[in-house]
Every structure is written in C-alpha cells, then in structure tokens.
Amino acid sequence: MDILRQMPPVSRALLLGTAIVTIPCALQALSPYQVALLWPLVTRRWQLWRIVSAFFYAGSGFPMLYNTVFMYNSSTKIEAFGYFNNVADYSWSLLGMASMIMLMNAPYSRPFLFSSLTGALMAQWSVHLPETPVSLMGLISIPGKYLAFVMLGIELTISGMDAALVSLTGVVAGYAWYFGRDAPRMSRRRPDLTWLAWFAKHLSPLFQTPKTVHQLADGSFRMPHLTSGTHTTPRRPANNTSASSAPVRVDRAAILAATEARMRMQKSQ
C-alpha cells in the first residue's frame, strides 16, 4: 500500500484501471468482448462501462506488460514534469484527450483504445519534455520531441497500418489538446495572427480546467513532499497588502528547463 501511496495520483489511477481491466482478461476470467467499446451495446443496452474499459485493455502476453510499463512510466514523468503534479489539470487533460479519441475512432467502430491513450501520452511527452531523452527497449535513446513519430513508425512496422492509425488518433488528440491549452500564450507571442487570437479568445477557454475540477482535486488528493516524504501544511502568508496585491508569475519555461536538466543528471549518475 505504501508503494501505491507514493505513486502520482493520476498515473496510479491509470495503472489500477489497466490492471482491473486487463488482468481478468489475461486470466480468462473475463472476455475482451465484455470490455470492448461496442456502441450498439452502449446506446441500446446502456453498457456505459465500455466507454471507460476500452481505454484500459492493454492486450495479452509480452506486449501487455511492455505497453503497461511504458504507459505508466510516461504518465508519471508527464504528471510530475509536464503538469507539475497538478491533479486537476492532468485529469482534465486526459478526459479531454479521451473525448477527442472517441470522436475520431467512432466512425470506424474500433473496440479498444489503449494504444490511442498511449499515443496521446507520447504527444504530451513530445511537447512538455522535448529535450528529455527516452530509451526504447534499452537499445536506443531519442530526444523526447521525436518520441511520438518514432513510436508511430515502430507501430506501423510491427503491427500494420490499422494499428498505427489507432495510435495516430491519440497522437493527434495529444497535440491538439496542448495547442488548445497553450493558444493564449502563442497568441501573445504572435499578435499578427488574427485567427490565433480568435481561437485563444473563443475556443481556448474550453480546454482550461474548470474551477470545480480544481476544487474536487484539491479536496481529494494531497501529494507527499517529494524530498522528505512527509505531508506539509502550507503557511498562510502574512497580511501584506503590497505583496498580496501583486500577481505571482511562474516562469514555466525556466521550471521545465530545470527539471529536464535534473532528469538528465539523474540518468547520467
């Protein structure tokens, strides 16, 4: 149980969901048919669990183990260094990307979407951790910004076009979600692009995390301190009108560069 508590909350939920759906199927206690996304059964018989379970069936045999480990490792890094352990933002992003994935795959009636979820995580790694190296099966190491495209190439070579297209829908969702959330910052850097300013004003708010989600996450999850392993209660700031009235601006690029440097140092040791 201590191991579970030390896991990042959202990545832990992804791992547990994968285990709950995949292991019974691997042990033949459950049929993959019972967890597949079959829209007639969802809409006519109200088997709504299929909408969720389709994202957590990782297959069988060695690919199941590799895909699960790869998904979890990628998610923990993204949650910690891409979303800075912000449970609300990461949860909302996964929900939004999953919705995009379902919409793109619905016309083709694809029953399982685990590879699409992994593809979305690869795209998120590419944009949040572009310079962080990724080891593929311990054989080669590539910069994070190329991860999504390299993995798509491997999927195409090993599993064929249809499997690669399923993963591609996740990659598209991952990049699209990042663009939707980051459009306001992009528009400030490129004020000459009127379409980007319009998107940032009218559509980008749909990608931002609602206050209700922040409130639910703040009340449900408390991450332990990363260094001491103990819970700490933040101090309330002293009543200082000049300090409290000035907005605090976080240099996200500087934080990201520092975390990537720390990860490279840890890997070289």
CATH number of 154's domain? 1.20.1540.10
106 in any annotated domain: yes
Specify the pTM: 0.79
pLDDT of residue 225: 44
- Greater confidence (62 vs 244) lies with 62
Q: pLDDT digits over 243-252, tens only?
A: 333 444 445 5
Residue 176: domain span = 3-183+208-218
Residue 46 in any domain: the answer is yes
pLDDT level of residue 259 (50, 70, 90 thresholds): low
Residue 155: CB atoms within 10 Å: 20
- pLDDT per position as a tens digit, 102-145: 999 999 989 999 999 999 999 999 999 998 888 887 778 889 99
Q: Which of these ranges, 15-19, 60-64, 84-88, has the smallest mean pLDDT?
A: 60-64
247 belongs to a structural domain:
no
Tell whether 151 is covered by a domain: yes
Distance CA 54, CA 41 (A): 13
DSSP the chain: -HHHHHS-HHHHHHHHHHHHHHHHHHTTSS-GGGTS--HHHHHHS--THHHHHTTT---SHHHHHHHHHHHHHHHHHIIIIISTT-HHHHHHHHHHHHHHHHHHHGGGT-S--HHHHHHHHHHHHHHHSTTSEEEETTTEEEEGGGHHHHHHHHHHHHH-HHHHHHHHHHHHHHHHHHHHHHHHHHHHH-TT-HHHHHHHHHTGGGGSPPHHHHHHHHHH--PPPTTT-----PPPPP--HHHHHSPP---HHHHHHHHHHHHHHHHH-
Kindly state whether residue 255 falls inside one of the protein's structural domains: no
Question: Is 248 inside any structural domain?
Answer: no
Per the structure, the count of domains in the chain is 1
In a domain, 212, yes or no: yes
